[in-house]
Amino acid sequence: MNTQFIQNNSEPHYDVIVIGSGLGGLVSALILAKEGKKVVVLEKNNQYGGNLQTFVRNKTIFDTGVHYIGGLDKGENLYNYFSYLNISDKLKLRQLNKNGFDMISFDDDIQEYPIAQTYQNFVDQLAIFFPTERENLIQYSKKLEEICSAFPMYNLNIGTFADEEDFLSINAKEYIDSVFTNERLKAVLVGNNFLYVGQAEKTPLYIHALSVNSYIHSAWRCVNGGSQIAKLLIKELKKYGGEIYKYQEIKSFVQNENEEVIGCETIKGKRYFGELFISNIDIKKTIDMLGERKFGKPFSRRVKSLEVTPSAFTIYIVFKPKSFSYINHNIYHFNSINDVWDSYEKPTNNWPNTYIATFSMDQKDEEYSESMTVMTYMTFDEVQKWEESYNVDINDNYGNRGEEYEEFKRQKTELIIRKLEKKFPGIRKKISDIHTSTPLSYRDFIGSEKGNMYGYLKDSSHPMKTFISPRSKVKNIFFTGQNVRVHGVLGVTVGAFVTCCEILGAEYLMNKVHREIEPNANE
């Protein structure tokens, strides 16, 4: 859908219009605002930040998407990118347990297995439990680093990513099976694959490596939530004259008589005109806003055929004061080692087959947890009967989708609590309140297709099928977000720099980044 208009002088005109205020959109906007460009960011909802959003219940802050971040120690990759954006030293962070930031556990095993920070410690901690696999762990660690080094922008270097199909088509499970003999260790090494939705036959090794490598270097929890990242980026954006507006849902692009894109229009009829447009919303929606012909039918049809990752069902637990000790690591728990791959496709008779639990510290008494967030897989099919209902109200909205929906959530919550009781006996009595979100919540607040967590599923058998260039066939429309390169805070940040390299020139931008961050690195 697109509209033709002649601009009048009273309508705003910008150098760059960014559609969507997720991390990729905000980073792209700030990079270009630093170049002196007149930039505006348009967000459809009440809250900025996409997956960086937080919400408050019972005076407790909960994250919607960002539960921990890697690569933020001084001099590491995300720290350096954030330094260029002038937010690294402003973040309020707490480093997770260095001897095990993620702990992997199973119903049939009382032991918890650590994923530790720094590769030496990573090897040492796992070798305690799997001493005969030490040399294999060293080999595996070197392989992860080697893969990450093949992506220049991951390490703030100039160059294109490793686009050789042989490299990208290495399957994660097949590689791990070829290196290790112990089945439990194999399961532990991919035990945190909720970070990328592990599929035995599809997940490429490079996705596994890029997802876990930065955490192994250093892993951090955002104090008071990940929304601080969005707030800091917006503050910097405004410092450079950038503008940002909420409740501006874009329905179409505006073209002139030569079919050149010159603006965009909101669902309420407000028009914004500009020279360049960066889409930080779902790529399929972007295509629909202008039509397949403009983006090229082969590209459009390829994108529309791509499978998205599943969504999640999440419970947000508020603890009674001083009732539950603070845990400075994340827990990935499985029914058995057979559930680590393809967990979301397993039979639901023993649901959930897996869950991830994260904890927030009580700021008044650091010995205790204030809250706990528990996530598990859920496909959109389970909530499809309510798909025509929408909710973007950040206030408590019990009953908005009907009592049947509320009962569905209560039943799912009870199943999770029963699982937690096995892991944490007596936890039920320590809970003050519980809130929930479903794939519908993620769809409405984040804007992702079917509420998916990480965009398009990558497939080692067809590695280039999910490759999305930040430069579209429409000369002044660019893409950013989790489908450009990879998902996650680091992946999306790198993707935004990749997008801006297409606009400004890679050599120019990355040389400027190094000039600005090197004085800080030497302090």
The better pLDDT of the pair 6, 229 is held by: 229
The pLDDT value recorded for residue 350 is 86
Q: Please, which pLDDT band fits residue 390 given cuts at 50, 70 and 90?
A: confident
The better pLDDT of the pair 165, 431 is held by: 431
The pLDDT value recorded for residue 395 is 47
| Distance separating alpha carbons of residues 22 and 28, to the nearest angstrom | 10
- Compute the residue count for the chain: 523
* 102-106 vs 109-115, strand pairing mode: antiparallel
| Distance separating alpha carbons of residues 136 and 351, to the nearest angstrom | 34
116: CB partners within 8 A, 6+ apart: 98, 99, 100, 101, 122, 124, 125, 126, 216
Residue 262 near residue 82, CB atoms below 8 Å: no
Instruction: Delineate the domains of the chain, giving CATH numbers in brackets.
Output: 2-92+224-306+462-521 (3.50.50.60), 121-222 (1.10.405), 310-453 (no CATH)
CA neighbor of 274 nearest in space, from 19, 1, 445: 19
| Distance separating alpha carbons of residues 358 and 348, to the nearest angstrom | 23
CA neighbor of 434 nearest in space, from 319, 312, 285: 319
Q: Please, which pLDDT band fits residue 12 given cuts at 50, 70 and 90?
A: confident
| Distance separating alpha carbons of residues 67 and 54, to the nearest angstrom | 10
Q: Is the pLDDT of residue 59 over 90?
A: no
| Average pLDDT over the chain, rounded to an integer | 92
Alpha-carbon torsion 300, 302, 307, 311, what sign?
negative
Please, is 22 exposed, middle or buried when counting C-beta atoms within 10 Å of its C-beta (0-12, 13-18, 19+)?
Answer: buried
33: CB partners within 8 A, 6+ apart: 39, 237, 240, 241, 242
126: CB partners within 8 A, 6+ apart: 113, 114, 116, 133, 137, 185, 188
Alpha-carbon torsion 274, 275, 278, 283, what sign?
positive
Q: How far is CA 469 from the centre of its chain?
A: 19
Residue 30 near residue 240, CB atoms below 8 Å: yes
Residue 468 near residue 299, CB atoms below 8 Å: no
The pLDDT value recorded for residue 50 is 85
Q: Is the pLDDT of residue 72 over 60?
A: yes
Q: Phi first, then psi: what are they for 325, rounded to 5°?
A: -65, 145
Q: Is the pLDDT of residue 160 over 70?
A: no
| Distance separating alpha carbons of residues 426 and 424, to the nearest angstrom | 6
The residue-averaged pLDDT of 388-407 equals 74
CA neighbor of 81 nearest in space, from 523, 502, 514: 514
According to DSSP, the residues that pair with 22 across neighbouring strands are 49
Among 59-63, 100-104, 173-177, the minimum mean pLDDT is found in: 59-63
What's the pLDDT tens digit per position in 171-209? 999 999 999 999 999 999 999 999 999 999 999 999 999
What is the value of pTM for the model shown?
0.94
What's the pLDDT tens digit per position in 343-376? 988 877 889 999 999 999 988 899 999 999 999 9
How many H helices and E strands in the chain? Answer: 16, 20
Encoded tokens for 272: 């914004």
Q: Is the pLDDT of residue 81 over 90?
A: yes
The torsion region of residue 233 among left (phi > 0), alpha (psi -120 to 50) and beta comes to alpha
The pLDDT value recorded for residue 394 is 47
Q: Please report, rounded to a whole number, the percentage of residues in the chain having pLDDT higher than 70.
A: 95
Among 395-404, 451-460, 495-504, the minimum mean pLDDT is found in: 395-404
The residue-averaged pLDDT of 320-328 equals 96
The residue-averaged pLDDT of 134-148 equals 97
CA neighbor of 19 nearest in space, from 219, 282, 338: 282
Q: Please, which pLDDT band fits residue 522 given cuts at 50, 70 and 90?
A: low
DSSP secondary structure of 84-147: HTT-GGG--EEEPPTT-SEEEEETTEEEEEEE-SSHHHHHHHHHHH-GGGHHHHHHHHHHHHHH
Longest C-alpha distance within the chain, in Å? 73
Q: How far is CA 471 from CA 32, 38, 303, 322, 355, in A?
A: 16, 20, 14, 52, 37
Encoded tokens for 459: 């497939």
**Helical ranges in 150-204 per DSSP H:** 165-168, 172-179, 183-189
What's the pLDDT tens digit per position in 424-455? 999 999 999 999 999 998 898 888 899 999 99
What's the pLDDT tens digit per position in 245-292? 999 999 999 999 999 999 999 999 999 999 999 999 999 999 999 999
Q: Please, which pLDDT band fits residue 161 given cuts at 50, 70 and 90?
A: low
The pLDDT value recorded for residue 347 is 77
Q: Is the pLDDT of residue 80 over 50?
A: yes
Q: Please, which pLDDT band fits residue 485 given cuts at 50, 70 and 90?
A: confident
The pLDDT value recorded for residue 165 is 53
